[in-house]
Amino acid sequence: MDSGSEYYDVNLRLTPRADGLWALLVYDEEEPVRAVERILLDQGISTRHVRNCSAADAALREAASPVLVLTDTSLPDGSWADVLKAACAVPPRPPVIVVSRLVDIQLYVDVLESGAYDFVVPPLNSAGLVHIVRGAILKGWPQQPQSR
């Protein structure tokens, strides 16, 4: 992917072509997902919600990869790091955004150094999330993890 422009109109709204682009939401709870789903659907991006790392891994290995992954920090069978590892194993590698309920500077650093696109803390307002999603998609992801 060069600039991502072949997939999106960069004006006010992300407008996917008619090729079924979607985002994978990895959360074990339902409540945070609803707000994110509404925001992404308003941008023309459909969503799929899974509740654990195993289901995320299976969803990532399907024929049509997600354009984006948003994951909670801790899940019943693993963590954000497991989701990131699974995302890194599939071409084309989707950008991963980690969502934490708590501000944790060390976690923030670990997430970014491991190769995730961003680390965000709720509440997620529409404009802020759209800005992050647009950046993740349009910057020609993927980025290689930084060496430690």
**Domain assignment present for 146:** no
8 lies in a domain? Answer: no
DSSP H helices, the chain, are 31-42, 53-60, 80-88, 105-113, 126-138
State the pLDDT at residue 38. Answer: 93
Q: Token digits for 105?
A: 């500077």
Q: How far is residue 39's CA from residue 60's CA, in Å, rounded to a whole number?
A: 21
- Is residue 11 situated within a structural domain? no
DSSP 94: P
* Residue 15 within any structural domain of the chain: no
What pLDDT does 19 receive? 52
Residue 145 lies in a domain: no
CATH number of the domain encompassing residue 112: 3.40.50.2300
Range of the domain at 63: 22-138
Q: Is residue 143 part of a domain?
A: no
Q: What is the pLDDT along the chain (148 residues), one digit of tens a residue?
A: 333 333 334 343 444 443 577 999 999 998 889 999 999 999 999 999 999 999 999 999 987 889 999 999 999 999 999 999 999 999 889 999 999 999 999 999 999 999 999 999 988 889 999 999 999 988 754 444 544 4
User: Quick one: CA dihedral 36, 41, 42, 45, positive or negative?
Assistant: positive
Give pLDDT, residue 140. 52
Residue 13 covered by a domain: no
In a domain, 6, yes or no: no
φ, ψ of residue 91 in degrees (nearest 5): -95, 145
The tally of domains found in the chain comes to 1
- Read off the pTM: 0.82
Work out whether strand 74-75 and strand 68-72 pair parallel, antiparallel, or are unpaired: unpaired
C-alpha distances in Å from residue 130, one per residue of 27, 47, 74, 126, 135: 19, 14, 23, 6, 8
Structure-token pair, residue 133: 């999603």
- Cα gap 111→97, rounded to integer Å: 9
